[in-house]
Structure 1
Amino acid sequence: MELADDSYYESESYDDYNYTENNILAKEEYVFQHQPTCLREVHCVSLITVSVLIFLLGVCGNALVIWITGFRMKKSVNTTWYMSLALSDLVFCLFLPISIVHLALEDWIFGHFMCKFASSLMFINMFSSIFLLVVISVDRCVSVMFPVWAQNQRTIQKASVVVLLAWLLAIGLSIPSMIFRDVKSHMGRNICFNNYSLYQNSHKTVAVSRFLAGFVVPFAIIIICYSIIIIRLRNNKMTKSSKPFKVMTALIAAFFICWLPYHVFILLELNNQNYDPKILATGLKICTSLAVANSFLNPVLYVFMGNDFKQKFKSCVLSRMENAMGEEGRTISRYLSRSSSMDGRASTHI
């Protein structure tokens, strides 16, 4: 989904992360301390606890999804989408301990390269996730609008190429973090922050472009696709159930809820002189944790959005996840097969 305009790591010492060098120097008197105070503050300890839980749940949950989609389920277009999402979230979660240590020590001890890399990784995760959600939404829309064509053209190889392109685009849009992230030493502390002072209007350009490319445009496409799908299915009366789209709807809703507050605070930061810096810092801390939580929510949604809730407790965890992820693909396949059959019968009458 930035994190002080650049990632979860940017929001660790959220005050340092969210401003340019001049802003940081202006607030040094109360932000930078020789002795870390995080472990003596309730809200900071709470953030560390939440981050540790996200790390544990994210690593275990996403690793489980990757194992199931890669080894337990038959490879398909649908499993390709879900495995790619899980891989993106897993890689990010594996680097969360860096941000946890930084938050606890209130000192960046990982060097200049990791300052840039950690921030970039956050945005690669954000962009790749939303781009994959867009791809899946378009895929579902095309499958409903053109079932015969989709049945013939939707292949694992093509899905893999699309996933690769989505990742490359996400990496490209994360380059600003590699450019603007910098490390500065002050009062015995190393600070990893966004140094926008070298380029005029760079802060605004980066924040607005990320909001548009990583939120507004993708969600507009997703909303259009799902509107078309709903209208088409209702008109054709091909299904009386919303099950085929429950998982995707939940994933999209989770991404929206997790990332919108973060983007709002990032945009507010552009005019930080009009707001209390402590309110901005606190808001960015909370919104950053919420955004990061999206990385472990996806596998949870795979489990609990599948079949009837009572039935989930009667089956093992692996079966629940496999059923949840396979259900959508099976329903779409039945829809495609039925549409193809209807089109074939219609052609014999023409």
Structure 2
Amino acid sequence: MNSSTEAYSNNDADSYNYQDMVDEFSKGSHTEDTHPEHCREAACIITVILNVIIFLLGITGNGTVIWIAGFKIKKSVNTTWYLSLALSDFLFCSIIPFVIVRTVINNWIFGLYMCKFTSFAMFLNMYSSIFILIVISVDRCVTVKFPVWAQNHRTITKASAVVVLVWLMSALLSIPAFRFREIYNYSSKEICFNNYEHHHTTVVLIRFICGFLIPFLSICICYSILICKLRANQLSKSTKPYKIMTLLITTFFLCWLPYHIVSIIELDKSKHGHNFGKAQLVTATLASSNSFINPFLYAFMAKDLKKKLYSFLSKIESTIDEETRSAFRGTSITNSGDHRLSTAV
């Protein structure tokens, strides 16, 4: 929840320098039209409704994935990846009620720590999600290119260690979101905002490079290698795991790309007028929607969707379980005569 994501808060906390914000309030530039006592504008009401939907679907869907991947089916490397992804999304969805309350009453009532933590959790989710997608892409690439090595060294223990490393890196990169959040008191209201001082450009560029550009290039490289290998050896018996990963990655980039674009444009706010906050509102809500989409992708990729919509839980379990079995088959050599490999990616 940085400057752009602060659109959740009806966009009254998007100042980046403390003194600039004080000056704006003292000049009366923040009027009742831009900062109403309650959520009355259409954009505000729609944002609240969307956030409620995202919260309900995200908690339910990701909670189901956590239950199935963590407790109901046999643990594997693949379930470790998807469990981490679901935990990340679940954590983010759990902070949405704070944002909803703040938007409705136009006042931050949860104190400084939660002001900082909600921002931290937002970017922890962003970084951990994209890093796990990178890990899954690299894992698939290694499984196809070096199946024998993968069969001998691809273990749950090592996968868990990788997940821990991903979360540590994500936490470190999310520290600015915690460090620069402050509360400003104005007219009996508390405003949770970002006081970036002179670090705004640095923070935004780091987020774009580490949270989007490098991951995008890394995943593209992995997929290029993967596709070339599959076409050369005609390896794929099942395309479902490949489709699932493609959808996960595509939805992540579609949800987050507008947010990063707006964040970069926002570096020079003076050229974009007072309606720029609406772009923040839209891209922030779009970014948050990614947190409830993933578990539904698992379900919708199952076979006979139209006939089995009622069996949501079993389809999620079936998809994740197929991921495990397909990856296991990917480490086996099935045709020793011509040394062709049979795998599913």
TM-score (norm. length: structure 1): 0.90
CA shift, 1:277, in A, is 2.8
Match of 1:292 among 267, 288, 291: 288
CA shift, 1:341, in A, is 3.8
Q: Is the 8 A contact 2:12 2:191 kept in 1?
A: no
Q: Is the 8 A contact 2:144 2:226 kept in 1?
A: yes
Q: Which residue of 2 aligns with 1:52?
A: 52
Q: How does 1:204-223 map to 2 (within 5 A)?
A: 204-223=201-220
Give the SS at the match of 1:17. coil
CA shift, 1:324, in A, is 1.7
Q: Which residue of 2 aligns with 1:145?
A: 145
CA shift, 1:9, in A, is 4.7
> Which segment drifts farther, 29-38 or 209-218?
29-38
Q: Is the 8 A contact 2:81 2:163 kept in 1?
A: yes
For the residues of structure 1 that align with 2:98 and 2:337, how far apart are their CA atoms?
58
For the residues of structure 2 that align with 1:111 and 1:344, how far apart are their CA atoms?
68
Cα 1:18/1:252, change in 2 over 3 Å: farther
Q: Which residue of 2 aligns with 1:102?
A: 102
Letter of the aligned partner of 1:295 in structure 2? S
For the residues of structure 1 that align with 2:2 and 2:54, how far apart are their CA atoms?
16
Give the SS at the match of 1:31. coil
Q: How does 1:1-350 map to 2 (within 5 A)?
A: 3-4=2-3, 8-9=5-6, 11-28=8-25, 29-31=28-30, 33=32, 36-197=36-197, 200=198, 202-239=199-236, 241-278=238-275, 280-313=276-309, 316-337=311-332, 340-342=333-335
For the residues of structure 1 that align with 2:185 and 2:7, how far apart are their CA atoms?
16
Partner deviation per Cα, 1:46-72 (whole Å, 9 max, x = no partner): 100000111101001110001111122
C-alpha root-mean-square deviation of aligned residues, in Å? 2.1
For the residues of structure 1 that align with 2:83 and 2:285, how far apart are their CA atoms?
24
Q: Is the 8 A contact 1:32 1:187 kept in 2?
A: no
Q: Is the 8 A contact 1:102 1:108 kept in 2?
A: yes
For the residues of structure 2 that align with 1:18 and 1:132, how far apart are their CA atoms?
32
TM-score (norm. length: structure 2): 0.92
CA shift, 1:10, in A, is 6.0
Share of identical aligned residues, percent?
A: 47
> Which segment drifts farther, 94-103 or 323-332?
323-332
Give the SS at the match of 1:184. strand
Q: Is the 8 A contact 2:7 2:277 kept in 1?
A: no
Partner deviation per Cα, 1:261-318 (whole Å, 9 max, x = no partner): 001111111100111132x2100011000000011001111110232433533x6212
Query: What residue ranges of structure 2 are gaps of 5+ in the alignment?
Result: 340-345
CA shift, 1:344, in A, is 8.5
Give the SS at the match of 1:192. strand
Query: What residue ranges of structure 1 are gaps of 5+ in the alignment?
Result: none
CA shift, 1:20, in A, is 2.6
Letter of the aligned partner of 1:48 in structure 2? V
For the residues of structure 2 that align with 1:10 and 1:275, how far apart are their CA atoms?
16
Cα 1:106/1:247, change in 2 over 3 Å: same
Give the SS at the match of 1:271. helix
For the residues of structure 2 that align with 1:257 and 1:134, how far apart are their CA atoms?
16
Q: Is the 8 A contact 2:58 2:90 kept in 1?
A: yes
Letter of the aligned partner of 1:45 in structure 2? I
For the residues of structure 1 that align with 2:185 and 2:322, how far apart are their CA atoms?
53
For the residues of structure 2 that align with 1:304 and 1:20, how far apart are their CA atoms?
45
CA shift, 1:33, in A, is 4.3
For the residues of structure 1 that align with 2:337 and 2:128, how far apart are their CA atoms?
38
Partner deviation per Cα, 1:193-221 (whole Å, 9 max, x = no partner): 11122xx3x10000000100000001110
For the residues of structure 2 that align with 1:22 and 1:254, how far apart are their CA atoms?
38
CA shift, 1:39, in A, is 2.6
Question: Hey, which bits of structure 1, 4+ residues long, moved more than 6 A?
Answer: none
**Aligned residues, how many?**
337
For the residues of structure 1 that align with 2:282 and 2:7, how far apart are their CA atoms?
13
